[in-house]
Amino acid sequence: MKKNLYYLISKIKLSVILLISFSYQSFSNVTLPALFSDGMILQRNMKIAVWGWADQGETVTISFGGKEYKVNAFPVSGRWTIYLDPMPANAVPQTMVVKGNNVITLKNILIGDVWLCSGQSNMEWKMNMLNHTYDKEIADSENPYIRAVEIVNNTSLQPLEDCKTEGGWKQANAQNTAEFSAVAYFFAKSLYKQYKVPQALILSEWGGTVAEAWTSLEGLRVLPNYLKDFGDWKKSVPADLSAKTVERLYQGWIKTTRDADKGFSKDGRNWADAGINTSDWKTMDLPAYWETAGLTGIDGIVWFRREVEVSKKDAGKDLVLELAKIDDSDSTYFNGVKIGNTDGYNVSRKYIVPGKLVKAGKNIITIRVTDTGGGGGVWGEKAEMKMTVNGKESSLSGTWLYKLSVNQNDLPPNPRQFRLAKSSHSFIQCNDCPADSLWY
């Protein structure tokens, strides 16, 4: 049935090594991973593994779909797994009861198709990030048979026993759909319209991550150059690669990058100053990703400059700069004075320039853009780049001067480039656990 779909889909069977800790652990109550919660959808027509933890040797019972299943938890780790029999699609909500020393009741469970939706920023792009393009689509999206769960980004050098989610499973509606991946939502909507089968979306994506970070070490062994890069990087970081540690390392890397920036001189001047020599600067039409406009394969820091004219009548009045979106972060200056900075590749930039900086005649706008991976630059629609003063708008799209100040290839590796725990094994810890996948 799915073979007729034109989407780029690969059917995969996620067979993941079961990670068991052989240290003594005590679980006074039966517990479940975060993915098993109210409102979940289970894969139809296949055995479904349900797993968790309990006291060593404790008997765990699951009642679901008119059947009862039992298993004893492992005597050392307390880990247990029960396989539910294959079930056809079912849009009628059901209840699952898990019993041990305690009782867990999961409600509103459907049977349908489960999709692991993963990738970089293309998959990460949410419905509400499209400049109100899909406001009506979001408002009219009510559908209890399309549900999604967002996996919280995390990092680890080892497979994780569990994950965290952004509030558990959520059904499509005017409130929730805005936070769904746009690609995943329209994919599920199309499938539901065609087959009338409940659709589940496991949203595990992270913009800017490299493909190696989603690949097991076994997979990397056939790519020796990548494996060497990973080995070199692994030696440079602590064994504890928690999100907090990565962020600390990243901030140190940012300082190293700042120190290497040719745009800052030791005398305190920088490339936003009015009097610098720009005779060796090149030109680029904005908005555009710089990889498509002359800086192919470059990650790092690029400074952009443009002169704008302000009339005597408008001098001294507050001015509004709108600079579309900037991938990844920016520091923006007006006449050499920093007026703001923003981090986020998909965030629209809007800065207020105090009137005391706005003078009659020539004024200079400078944008220092930092890109740590993937596409970089000032991007979006031409209409999103404009200057407004005294109620009058002027376009800022078109020709800008630019100069590369840092080539990231000349720096140590970015600590954010190997985010290992977002691969599939970080949240699916079972053997013989079937799923379909969508990658973008």
- The predicted-structure confidence for 207-235, as pLDDT tens digits, reads as follows 877 777 777 767 777 777 766 666 665 66
* pLDDT tens, residue by residue, 108-133: 999 999 999 998 888 999 999 876 78
Burial class (CB in 10 A: 0-12, 13-18, 19+), 223: middle
Based on its alpha-carbon atoms, the radius of gyration of the chain, rounded to whole angstroms, reads 26
Phi–psi pair at 193, nearest 5 degrees = -60, -40
> What are the tokens at 344?
């986020």
Q: How far apart are the first and last CA of the chain?
A: 22
* pLDDT band for position 23 (cuts 50, 70, 90): very low
Query: Stretch 307-317: mean pLDDT, rounded?
Result: 97
* pLDDT tens, residue by residue, 340-399: 999 988 899 999 999 999 999 999 999 999 998 878 999 999 999 999 999 999 999 999
Q: What pLDDT score does 241 carry?
A: 60
Using alpha carbons, list the distances in angstroms from residue 129 to 17, 123, 124, 164, 180. 37, 12, 10, 23, 10
H-state helical runs in 162-212 = 182-195
* pLDDT tens, residue by residue, 58-68: 999 999 999 99
Q: What pLDDT score does 85 carry?
A: 96
* pLDDT band for position 400 (cuts 50, 70, 90): very high
Q: DSSP secondary-structure letter at 9?
A: E
The vertex-190 CA angle with 186 and 192, nearest 5°, equals 115
- Cα dihedral: 233, 234, 235, 238 (round 10): 120
Query: Stretch 235-252: mean pLDDT, rounded?
Result: 70
Q: Is the pTM of this model over 0.75?
A: no
Q: What pLDDT score does 434 carry?
A: 58
In contact, 302 and 369? CB cutoff 8 Å: yes
In contact, 274 and 364? CB cutoff 8 Å: yes
